[in-house]
Amino acid sequence: MHRRIRVTAYSGGRAEERPGRLHLDEVVVDVEVVERWVEEDFGTGRRRRHFRLRDREGYEYRVYQEEDSSEWFLRV
């Protein structure tokens, strides 16, 4: 199941955009990137940028961004 969320992302001069904060309903969670990868559907050309994230308490989140729409989703 996938849930659309809002993400505050950071893009430095030498790095591509990466999530820094998740907005989950009324809760804002600061996160760090643990792992990242890209999946591409070669039939349609659609790409998703996936991230495994960790918050300060050690909880992990898996999110992805649809590159064509720039929408973010949480895998639940």
pLDDT at 41: 93
pTM of the model: 0.89
**CA-to-CA distance for 59 and 75, rounded, in angstroms?**
14
For 33-68, the pLDDT digits (tens) are 999 999 999 999 999 999 999 999 999 999 999 999
Residue percentage of the chain with pLDDT more than 90: 82
3-class secondary structure per residue, the chain: CEEEEEEEEECCCCCCCEEEEEEECCEEEEEEEEEEEEEECCCCCCEEEEEEEEECCCCEEEEEEECCCCCEEEEC
Neighbouring CB atoms inside 10 A of 63's CB total 20
